[in-house]
């Protein structure tokens, strides 16, 4: 996966070695127990280089949680045809996850870190806002777009987690086309469909709680 | 959260102390680096007791991944009225997660372990099959019920993960009634709605791949 030999010249190589090492160690040991020195040792670079690139451990964590380029470009143009954006989005997400193994590995590492460290969870939230919410905001102008973006994000994240990381058979057996045709309309609904208004739910909410 | 004092008499107390300690250590160190001795030390019990209860480390892992009683009873009767099962299911899931903090903590620990250890992922898949698939099978008799159950499971898991563990603002701002009214119909659709047939998607699948 990762070369343990001496890094070649060129900062891009060194940066990817450092980020790969940091992701592994944050996942394995958690943020608090990971030292910059240990990351440098695993990456095979001088610790001073990591400080030079990322400042401190918080900066390094932020860098490890930045989505890979393939994932970051995922949303570009996906919503150009708003009426077909749901299926297009599912198609692109599945395509990236089918073909980019490193995206899966990074999502697993991001989730593991985000589940154990509040600072990492905050960065995951920021990433979600920057990508999904920004893209949804280009399509939908109503005041529910943050809710819409979060519903879309959580459904797609659950799908990817279950299919590619936990390998739930009901999802691994489905073809990409089936997932696009089945989940796409739901994503489309969350994007542009009617979302129940909170004011009209007040009564049923209290009824719901009373009946429990 | 967890008493570090001497456990009281009674195997239920000892078992919960052992399971809580094991969940923490599996999450913190991963399965491979966690020893039975370390679990015993953190739980404040004799290592022989853990061997007596759970046999070996695999048995202990399986026990930590068993859903809490509150979660296991979640589905009982949820599908009694098949036409309203989607909303009822979301209502119950939210209710348990709002009121049982230990369920959240255990899900976080299960996911962290499942994301880093194949054996834990396999146990999560089994749990999903035992609970969600069995319940869906009581309502739907068609040959898509495994796909339906997986879609329901992954959407709900993504929702809980995003709202309670990562605390995505678009979801934490929603009321339980809003989530029930918005996500419930989608779960209902996955449960009893029309799922596209694979045979009719063959062409669009290859088109989709060709056009990429």
pLDDT, mean of residues B27-39:
84
pLDDT, mean of residues A12-20:
87
B91 vs A contacts (CB less than 8 Å): 208
pLDDT, mean of residues A48-59:
92
* Token duo for residue A212: 């429990």
B160 and B152 in contact (C-beta within 8 Å)?
Answer: no
Break chain A into its structural domains and give their ranges: 11-64, 69-197
Mutate one of A104, A144, A168 to test the B interface: name it (highest B CB count within 10 A).
Answer: A168
Closest alpha carbon to B140 in B96, B195, B69, B73? B195
CB contact under 8 A, A163 and B173: no
Residue in B with minimal Cα distance to A176? B205
pLDDT, mean of residues A151-158:
94
Quote the pTM value: 0.79
Distance from CA of A162 to the nearest CA of B (A): 6
Residue in B with minimal Cα distance to A186? B186
Residue keyed to tokens 């749990």? B127
> Nearest by CB to B177, which of A155, A163, A205?
A205
Chain B within 8 Å of A58 (Cβ-Cβ)?
no
CB contact under 8 A, A150 and B162: yes
Per-residue pLDDT at B7 exceeds 90: no
Which position has the higher pLDDT, A11 or B100?
B100
Per-residue pLDDT at B49 exceeds 90: yes
Chain A within 8 Å of B70 (Cβ-Cβ)?
no
pLDDT score at B203: 53
A15 and A53 in contact (C-beta within 8 Å)?
Answer: yes
Find the radius of gyration of the CA atoms of chain B: 20
Distance from CA of A41 to the nearest CA of B (A): 20
DSSP code string of B31-69: TTT--HHHHHHHHTS-HHHHHHHHSSHHHHHHHHTSPPH
pLDDT for B137-153, tens place per residue? 888 888 899 999 999 99
> Nearest by CB to A121, which of B149, B167, B183?
B167
CA-to-CA distance for B162 and B170, rounded, in angstroms? Answer: 9
CA-to-CA distance for B129 and B113, rounded, in angstroms? Answer: 18
Q: Which of residues 145-174 of A touch B (CB under 8 A)?
A: 146-151, 153-159, 161-163, 165-171, 173-174
Which position has the higher pLDDT, B83 or A138?
B83
B7 and B14 in contact (C-beta within 8 Å)?
Answer: yes
CB contact under 8 A, B153 and A168: yes
Distance (Å) of CA B156 to CA A7, A64, B9, B90, B97 = 43, 27, 38, 8, 12
Per-residue pLDDT at A27 exceeds 90: no
Chain A within 8 Å of B199 (Cβ-Cβ)?
no
* Token duo for residue B161: 């993960």
Which position has the higher pLDDT, B187 or A26?
B187
pLDDT score at A181: 97
pLDDT band (50, 70, 90) for residue A131: confident
ipTM of the complex: 0.79
pLDDT score at A3: 45
Phi and psi, residue B170, nearest 5°: -60, -25
Q: Which CATH superfamily is domain A11-64 in?
A: Homeodomain-like (1.10.10.60)
CA-to-CA distance for A65 and A91, rounded, in angstroms? Answer: 23
pLDDT score at B11: 64
CA-to-CA distance for A150 and A141, rounded, in angstroms? Answer: 15
> Nearest by CB to B169, which of A108, A146, A204?
A146
Q: Which CATH superfamily is domain B69-197 in?
A: Tetracycline Repressor, domain 2 (1.10.357.10)
> Nearest by CB to A153, which of B91, B150, B168?
B168
Alpha helices in chain B (DSSP H): 11-29, 36-43, 47-54, 57-64, 69-72, 85-99, 101-116, 118-128, 134-139, 145-160, 169-172, 176-192, 202-210
Q: Is A197 exposed, middle or buried (0-12, 13-18, 19+ CB in 10 A)?
A: exposed
Beta-carbon contacts of B202 under 8 Å, excluding residues fewer than 6 positions away, are A177
Chain A / chain B CB contacts < 8 angstroms: 182
pLDDT band (50, 70, 90) for residue B52: very high
> Nearest by CB to A168, which of B128, B173, B186?
B128
pLDDT, mean of residues A112-125:
78
Instruction: Mean pLDDT check: name the lowest of A14-18, A32-36, A69-73, B49-53.
Output: A69-73
Long-range CB pairs of A141-149 (<8 Å, 24+ gap) are A144/A195, A146/B169, A146/B170, A146/B173, A147/A195, A147/B170, A147/B171, A147/B173, A147/B174, A147/B178, A147/B182, A148/A190, A148/A191, A148/A195, A148/B170, A149/B170
Chain A within 8 Å of B119 (Cβ-Cβ)?
no
pLDDT score at B103: 78
Which position has the higher pLDDT, B155 or B132?
B155
Residue in B with minimal Cα distance to A197? B178
Residue keyed to tokens 């605390």? B167
Residue keyed to tokens 């159950």? B149
pLDDT for B72-127, tens place per residue? 677 778 888 888 999 999 999 999 888 887 777 777 777 777 777 777 788 788 87
* Token duo for residue B169: 């603002």
Mutate one of B78, B124, B170 to test the A interface: name it (highest A CB count within 10 A).
Answer: B170
Q: How far is CA B50 from the centre of its chain?
A: 24
């Amino acid at each position: 996966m990762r070369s343990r030999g001496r890094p070649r010249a060129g900062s891009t190589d060194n940066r990817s070695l450092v980020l790969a090492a940091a992701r592994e160690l944050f996942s394995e040991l958690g943020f608090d127990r990971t030292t910059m020195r240990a990351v440098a040792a695993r990456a095979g670079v001088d610790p001073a280089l990591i400080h030079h690139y990322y400042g401190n451990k918080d900066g390094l964590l932020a860098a490890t949680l930045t989505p890979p380029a393939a994932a970051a470009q995922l949303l570009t143009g996906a919503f150009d045809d708003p009426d077909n954006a749901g299926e297009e989005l599912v198609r692109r997400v599945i395509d990236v996850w089918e073909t980019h193994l490193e995206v899966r590995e990074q999502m697993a590492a991001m989730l593991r870190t985000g589940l154990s460290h509040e600072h990492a969870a905050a960065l995951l939230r920021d990433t979600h806002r920057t990508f999904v919410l920004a893209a949804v905001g280009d399509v939908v102008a109503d005041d529910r777009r943050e809710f819409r973006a979060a519903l879309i994000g959580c459904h797609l994240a659950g799908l990817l987690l279950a299919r590619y990381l936990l390998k739930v058979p009901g999802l691994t057996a489905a073809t990409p086309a089936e997932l696009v045709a089945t989940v796409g309309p739901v994503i489309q609904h969350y994007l542009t469909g009617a979302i129940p208004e909170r004011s009209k739910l007040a009564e049923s909410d209290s009824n719901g709680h009373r009946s429990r």
